[in-house]
Amino acid sequence: MKSYPAGSAGVLLCGAVAVTAALTLGLGRLATAVLATSRAQTAADAAALAAAGELATGRSAGEAERIASLTAAGNGARLIRCDCGGPAVIVAVTVNLPTFWPASRLVRAAARAELHPECPG
The answer to whether 77 and 69 are in contact (CB under 8 A) is: no
Helix (H) or strand (E) holding 70, with range, is helix 61-74
The region that residue 4 occupies, defined by phi over 0 for left and psi between -120 and 50 for alpha, beta otherwise, is beta
Structure confidence at residue 100 (pLDDT): 63
Rounded to two decimals, the pTM is 0.75
Confidence of residue 120 (pLDDT cuts 50, 70, 90): low
Q: Give the total residue count for the chain.
A: 121
Average pLDDT across the chain, whole number: 85
Domain ranges of the chain: 8-114
CB 48 within 8 A of CB 90: yes
Predicted confidence (pLDDT) per residue in 70-113, tens digit: 999 999 999 999 998 878 899 999 998 877 655 568 899 999 99
Q: Are 21 and 80 in contact (CB under 8 A)?
A: no
Whether residue 2 has pLDDT greater than 70: no
